[in-house]
Amino acid sequence: MFPRPLTPLAAPNGAEPLGRALRRAPLGRARAGLGAPPLLLPSMLMFAVIVASSGLLLMIERGILAEVKPLPLHPPNREAAAWRRALPRPGGLPLEPGDSDWQVRQDVRNRTLRAVCGQPGMPRDPWDLPVGQRRTLLRHILVSDRYRFLYCYVPKVACSNWKRVLKVLAGVLDNVDVRLKMDHRSDLVFLADLRPEEIRHRLQHYFKFLFVREPLERLLSAYRNKFGEIREYQQRYGAEIVRRYRAGAGPSPAGDDVTFPEFLRYLADEDPERMNEHWMPVYHLCQPCAVHYDFVGSYERLEADANQVLEWVRAPPHVRFPARQAWYRPASPESLHYHLCSAPRALLQDVLPKYILDFSLFAYPLPNVTREACHQ
C-alpha cells in the first residue's frame, strides 16, 4: 500500500558526509563575502530529492491513510520505563473529518527524519554535537520531572503558552489563564541545568516532543512581533539592519521601520548557528537527529495536538492548552504570500537553503513564488 520508505543516500565518492557538511561554515554571503556568489552545501541535491519525494508521497498517499497509523518517529527503546508502553503512540491521535492530510504529513515526517538522521556523520545523541550546538539544544529543552516529559521550545510556535502550562503542572501558577507577564526563565527547569548523567537518564526515559511551524511563516511572525512591537529588538537588531542594508541610513537609525526584504538580507548573511532564537532554524534549536522525539506537533493544529500531548503525559484533566486569544492575529498564509512575492527572488534563494532542513524534515512544501502564483 505504501511506496517504499526513503532510504539513506550515500555521499558521492570524495564528498564529505552529510552531518559534517551541515556543521561547516554558514551558507551564502556570510562566508563568501558580500560580493561573492552564495556557497551551496554538497548535500543540497539530497534535500531537493527528499522534498520532492515528500511531495510525491503527499500526492500518492492523500486520502488513503485515514485508516492507517503513521509509523512511530523512532522505535521504542526496549529498556525504556514501563510508562511508555502504556502511552498511546502518536498514531493514536483522533482524526477529525478531513484530517487525512495531517496523518500523511506525520508519516512523511517520520520517514524523512529516519532517512536524514540515518546518514553517516549525523549526530546520534547530544554528545555527538559540537559544544556550541549542544549548549543551544540543552538550553531549549524544558523538563517536567513530575510528569516525565521533555519539551523543546521553539520561539514563535506557542512556546509562551507551553511554558505557562509547565508552570501550572509544577504548581507555580493556578491555571493557564492567569494574566501575568510571562517570565521565560524563572520556575522552569532546563536540561542545561542538570548534570550529564541526569540529562542522559531523562533523554532515555522521558516522553519527548516539540512543535513546529511553516518556516517562513514563523520568520514573518518574528519579524512582525520583534521589529513592530519590541523596542529592545528594534534597538539591538533593527538599527544594525538599517545601518547595514539601507543606503543613507545615517549612524543612529531608530530601527523601528525595518522592511521584510531588509530582514531577509540580514538572515542571508547570518550563520544559522549564531542566530537569535526567534529566527534560528528549528533544526539547530532542537536537533531532531540527536534527540529522538516521540512526537512532533504542528502549529497548524496546535490546540488539538497540544491537548493530546497533555493526555499522553497524564496531566490533570483541568489542565488544558490555552485557547488562542480573540485579539491575536497570527501571520497568515495570505500575508506570507504577499511578503514573499514582494521580496526579490534572488534574496529568497539566499535565505531558503538555511531553512531547508526545517522544510524537508517536517514536511512543509517550499513556497511558490513564481510570477504566475504571485499574480493570482
What is the structure's pLDDT at 144?
97
Could you tell me which of 163, 158, 155, 210 has the C-alpha nearest to residue 182? Answer: 163
Rg (CA), the chain: 21
Strand order across the beta sheet in which 141-144 lies:
141-144, 149-152, 207-212, 295-298
Give the per-residue SS3 of 308-335: HHHHHCCCCCCCCCCCCCCCCCCCCHHH
Could you tell me which of 339, 67, 31, 76 has the C-alpha nearest to residue 214? Answer: 339
**With 50 as the cut, is the pLDDT of residue 95 above it?**
no
Crossing angle (nearest 10°) for helices 260-268 and 333-342: 70
Return the residue matching grid coordinates 501571520. 331
**All three cell numbers of 356:** 531547508
**With 90 as the cut, is the pLDDT of residue 89 above it?**
no
**With 80 as the cut, is the pLDDT of residue 10 above it?**
no
Q: Global pTM?
A: 0.77
CA distance 127 to 134: 7
Q: What percent of the chain has pLDDT over 90?
A: 58
Could you tell me which of 266, 265, 275 has the C-alpha nearest to residue 358? Answer: 275
**All three cell numbers of 349:** 534563494
Bigger pLDDT: 202 or 371? 202
What is the structure's pLDDT at 41?
41
What is the structure's pLDDT at 251?
84
Bigger pLDDT: 10 or 307? 307
Bigger pLDDT: 30 or 180? 180
Mark out the alpha helices in the chain (DSSP H runs).
18-22, 29-32, 44-61, 83-86, 100-117, 131-138, 159-169, 196-205, 215-229, 231-233, 239-245, 260-268, 282-286, 302-312, 333-342, 345-351, 356-361, 371-374
Q: Cβ contacts of residue 350 below 8 Å, gap of 6+? A: 27, 28, 29, 38, 264, 268
Give the pLDDT confidence of 352-369 residue by residue, as tens digits: 999 999 999 999 999 999
**With 50 as the cut, is the pLDDT of residue 55 above it?**
no
What is the structure's pLDDT at 344?
94
Bigger pLDDT: 140 or 183? 140
CA distance 208 to 288: 10
Instruction: Tell me if 81 sits within 8 A of 41, measured CB to CB.
Output: no
Could you tell me which of 95, 104, 65 has the C-alpha nearest to residue 363? Answer: 104
CA distances from 277 to 28, 66, 98, 153, 281 (A): 20, 36, 34, 10, 8
* Residue-averaged pLDDT of the chain: 79
What is the structure's pLDDT at 327?
61
Q: How confident is the model at residue 376 (pLDDT cuts 50, 70, 90)?
A: confident
The amino acid that residue 270 corresponds to is: E
**With 70 as the cut, is the pLDDT of residue 239 above it?**
yes
Q: How confident is the model at residue 252 (pLDDT cuts 50, 70, 90)?
A: confident
What is the structure's pLDDT at 99?
67
Strand 295-298 and strand 141-144: pairing? unpaired
**With 70 as the cut, is the pLDDT of residue 187 above it?**
yes
Instruction: Tell me if 74 sits within 8 A of 115, measured CB to CB.
Output: no
**With 70 as the cut, is the pLDDT of residue 92 above it?**
no
Give the pLDDT confidence of 257-314 residue by residue, as tens digits: 999 999 999 999 999 999 999 999 999 999 999 999 999 999 999 999 999 999 999 9
Could you tell me which of 312, 305, 285 has the C-alpha nearest to residue 191? Answer: 285
Q: How confident is the model at residue 104 (pLDDT cuts 50, 70, 90)?
A: confident
Minimum mean pLDDT range among 27-36, 99-108, 172-181: 27-36
Q: Dump the DSSP string for 129-174.
A: S-HHHHHHHHTTEEEETTTTEEEE--TTSSHHHHHHHHHHHTTSSS
Give the pLDDT confidence of 68-88 residue by residue, as tens digits: 333 344 434 433 444 444 444
Instruction: Tell me if 170 sits within 8 A of 146, measured CB to CB.
Output: yes
What is the structure's pLDDT at 146?
96
